[in-house]
Amino acid sequence: MATDPKTYETITGPGGELHQQTAANGPHLTTNQGIVVADNQNSLKAGARGPTLLEDFILREKIFHFDHERIPERIVHARGTAAHGYFEPYPAAATYSKAGLFQTPGEQTPVFVRFSTVAGGAGSADTPRDVRGFAVKFYTGEGVWDLVGNNIPVFFIQDAIKFPDLVHAVKMEADKGYPQAASAHDTFWDWIGLMPEATHMVMWQMSDRTIPRSFVTMEGFGIHTFRLIDADGKNTYVKFHWKPKQGLQSQIWDEAVKTAGADPDFQRRDLFERLDRGDYPEWELGIQAFDEETANGLDFDVLDSTKIIPEEIVPVTPIGKMVLDRYPDNFFAETEQVAFCPGNIVPGIDFTNDPLLQGRLFSYLDTQKSRLGTTNFHQLPINAPKSPVNNFQRDGMMQMNVPKGRANYEPNSLNEAGEDAGPRECPVKGYSTYAAQDIGAEQGDKLRVRPESFADHYSQARLFFRSLDKAEQAHLASALVFELSKVGLEHVRKRVLSNLVNVDPALAGRVAEGLNMDVPAASATAVPVKDLDPSPAVRIIGGPLEKVTLEGRSVGILIADGSDGELIDRLTSEIGDAGGKPILIAPKVGGAKLKDGSLLKADAQLAGFPSVFVDSIALALSAEGTAALLKEAAAVQFVMDAFGHLKTIGATDAAKPLLDKAGVEKDAGVTGLDDGFLAVAGSKRHFDREPGVRMLA
């Protein structure tokens, strides 16, 4: 059989050309050796009903490769999704750092960003209560910079040596193999109760921050204090912040639980759909920039990752923006094989002695070898720098480069014999570590100790709780009650409660009440707990990043037989004009027969599209449609959940019986479908409705 000429797509790899087989290779199915396959459906047999032959190299190769398709999932952050995009600096960036990516305002640096949950396995749901990873790979002209952060500005522990214990405690219990993707179990809270330094992070973890509505409605944080170094070698300490243009938005806990069942892929789908319709999410990169004097004047140590620097004390200066505009072509090749390492850093950015960061510098490089199987993981297209890679590191499993010549050592004088001598170091352009003579400078005796300045574990936990809006405080207290109610060991619950007394006695009282337990005495603290000034910047509700808008938000329009086509048209176009996403939902996906007799196709079937998927709902129903839907539990639940999840509900007069059956009571978030609906739909959730719909702690 004649073979068509193949067109190979050439991808430039580090230090050479990589020839990747792609679909552009031609129309014919081949083996991995390039032999065209004649029949991909039947194995080779001795006789039509006879045994399959070992000789079948096509079968063997196919099954062999399939058997090894999976690689170990990430130890943490196993479940994630990612997108490509770009970063553009603002003029301010260059004043702090000489890093190339910060020098030219508007000049784009490609990025790849992976969002993740922490505790669950790769196949778990998107919406557990969990911290979200926010990892950014910048392919700069000077090499790769990875900013591997989370959506929370602090971490559970102060020293990396505790990380394996933290992860063992939170993951599914060692004997049972469950719970999956949940911190609500004995071992997590046992460990937390014994680890007072985790208390501040636990406050954030129990807050609405860990049930984000979407990956694009989250803040991101670099967490550690880093350094930026300018062209004159001047050091500025910085904390990195990603501020979402989309605003901050979270789910209600009950909504997150229901979402997990209805669509475990809710957040990855959301990201893909946004990119698909050109609704590109954007974040501003900001820094809290400070000097040593400021650091020394704070109530805590900036090398301690369990602490924030309140934005009211050191404001965030925007230094650039990031836009995500393309989803990966292939989940495995890109999202799964991307290897982030906090140790990937470029000239103009540097580490500090934060002991959590220092441990991370080892762990990530190490884990990639186990996950990706080779020290050459940096050659995979998604990990390969887009700047030249030139060195004498050689060989290793799955080596993709074919270096020429015999210069694989340095120094060498092969050039004197006219041979290629290979690359040489460059003190001018090369990375030089900041000669730290300031905080945490390398000096003193070898000690396994923690500095005294890391001793205050509760004051910022108190600051966080007291800075929240009332509704958020109630959510946090209720989350603690929920989680501790899943803890079987009573002494563990009691110990956590005694730690909570140090955070805020009223909070401890509410949680104890929710558990029907007594409030124990406060646990011992190393230093007295301080009442620090509140930081409104940590709030979602009423905070600086809360957004009242329909932009990027969805409205589920419920239609049924007899619905008014003109009303639906008006709603759809008005929602679209406001930057929102209208979604038509009907009992049958094929559509509903409208008042004028025409058939209108739906985007989704009601039974498979609960209202947890949208930000507000419109019941564009006729009397006929309403009567039919009164007998459909999915319709009643659709409305009941929208009300319980504090969403705006717009409804025709004819839909009133459905509202009544769903227990909807009139309030500011329940309107007609006239012009006012859009304004209310675009507003925030109706938290003042909440005390009437659920008992909170």
178 annotated as a binding-site residue:
no
Considering only residues 75, 184, 323, 519, which one is a binding residue for ligand HDD as defined by CB under 6 A? Answer: 75
Provide the strand spans (E) within 301-389: 317-326, 349-350
74 annotated as a binding-site residue:
yes
Toward ligand HDD, which CB reaches closer, 372 or 670?
Answer: 372
Taking the complex as a whole, the smallest distance from the CB of residue 113 to ligand HDD amounts, in Å, to 9
Taking the complex as a whole, the smallest distance from the CB of residue 361 to ligand HDD amounts, in Å, to 9
Stretch that binds ligand HDD, among 41-49, 75-83, 176-184, 491-499 (CB under 6 A): 75-83
| Cα–Cα distance, 594 to 563 (Å, whole number) | 5
Site for ligand HDD in 336-365 (CB under 6 A): 338, 340, 356, 359-360, 363-364
Is residue 246 within 8 Å of 217, Cβ to Cβ?
Answer: yes
Site for ligand HDD in 90-149 (CB under 6 A): 114, 116, 133, 135, 148-149
Q: Which residue has the tokens 């409104």?
A: 536
Closest CA to 98 of 146, 141, 136, 135: 141
| Cα–Cα distance, 586 to 637 (Å, whole number) | 14
Residue nearest to ligand HDD (CB): 133
| Cα–Cα distance, 217 to 248 (Å, whole number) | 5
Residue 333 interacting with ligand HDD (CB under 6 A): no
Q: Which residues are catalytic?
A: 77, 150
360 annotated as a binding-site residue:
yes
Look up residue 364 and give its amino acid.
Y
Residue 589 interacting with ligand HDD (CB under 6 A): no
Strands 554-558, 616-619: pairing is parallel
Site for ligand HDD in 500-539 (CB under 6 A): none
Taking the complex as a whole, the smallest distance from the CB of residue 362 to ligand HDD amounts, in Å, to 7
Taking the complex as a whole, the smallest distance from the CB of residue 335 to ligand HDD amounts, in Å, to 8
Taking the complex as a whole, the smallest distance from the CB of residue 167 to ligand HDD amounts, in Å, to 8
114 annotated as a binding-site residue:
yes
Is residue 270 within 8 Å of 214, Cβ to Cβ?
Answer: yes
Closest CA to 483 of 499, 467, 470, 497: 497
Binding mask 187-226 for ligand HDD (x = CB under 6 A): ------------------------------------x---
Taking the complex as a whole, the smallest distance from the CB of residue 17 to ligand HDD amounts, in Å, to 27
H-helix or E-strand containing 362?
Answer: helix 355-372
Residue 307 interacting with ligand HDD (CB under 6 A): no
Taking the complex as a whole, the smallest distance from the CB of residue 75 to ligand HDD amounts, in Å, to 4
Binding mask 247-286 for ligand HDD (x = CB under 6 A): ----------------------------------------
Taking the complex as a whole, the smallest distance from the CB of residue 154 to ligand HDD amounts, in Å, to 8
| Cα–Cα distance, 169 to 157 (Å, whole number) | 13
Q: What is the DSSP letter of 507?
A: H
419: exposed, middle or buried (Cβ count in 10 Å: 0-12, 13-18, 19+): middle
Tokens of 339: 């290897």
CA-to-CA dists, residue 82 to 129, 270, 378, angstroms: 20, 12, 18
Tokens of 409: 């050592």
Residue 160 interacting with ligand HDD (CB under 6 A): yes
Residue 228 interacting with ligand HDD (CB under 6 A): no
Binding mask 26-65 for ligand HDD (x = CB under 6 A): ----------------------------------------
Look up residue 71 and give its amino acid.
I
- What is the rounded end-to-end Cα distance, in angstroms, of the chain? 74
| Cα–Cα distance, 440 to 127 (Å, whole number) | 39
Taking the complex as a whole, the smallest distance from the CB of residue 257 to ligand HDD amounts, in Å, to 24
Residues 6+ apart with CB under 8 A from 613: 259, 262, 263, 266, 554, 556, 583
Q: Count the Cβ atoms, other than its own, within 10 Å of residue 178.
A: 10
Stretch that binds ligand HDD, among 71-79, 203-211, 270-278, 405-413 (CB under 6 A): 71-79
163 annotated as a binding-site residue:
yes
Residues 6+ apart with CB under 8 A from 411: none
Residue 163 interacting with ligand HDD (CB under 6 A): yes
DSSP labels for 447-470? -----GGG---SHHHHHHHHHS-H
Count of residues binding ligand HDD (CB under 6 A)? Answer: 25
Q: Could you tell me where the DSSP H helices lie in 130-213?
A: 163-170, 186-193, 199-205
134 annotated as a binding-site residue:
no
Residue 367 interacting with ligand HDD (CB under 6 A): yes
Residue 678 interacting with ligand HDD (CB under 6 A): no
Residue 76 interacting with ligand HDD (CB under 6 A): yes
Closest CA to 568 of 588, 549, 594: 594
Toward ligand HDD, which CB reaches closer, 148 or 670?
Answer: 148
Annotated binding site: 74, 114, 163, 360, 364, 371
Annotated binding site for heme: 74, 114, 163, 360, 364, 371
Q: What residues make contact with ligand HDD under the rule CB under 6 A?
A: 74-77, 80, 114, 116, 133, 135, 148-150, 155, 160, 163, 223, 305, 338, 340, 356, 359-360, 363-364, 367
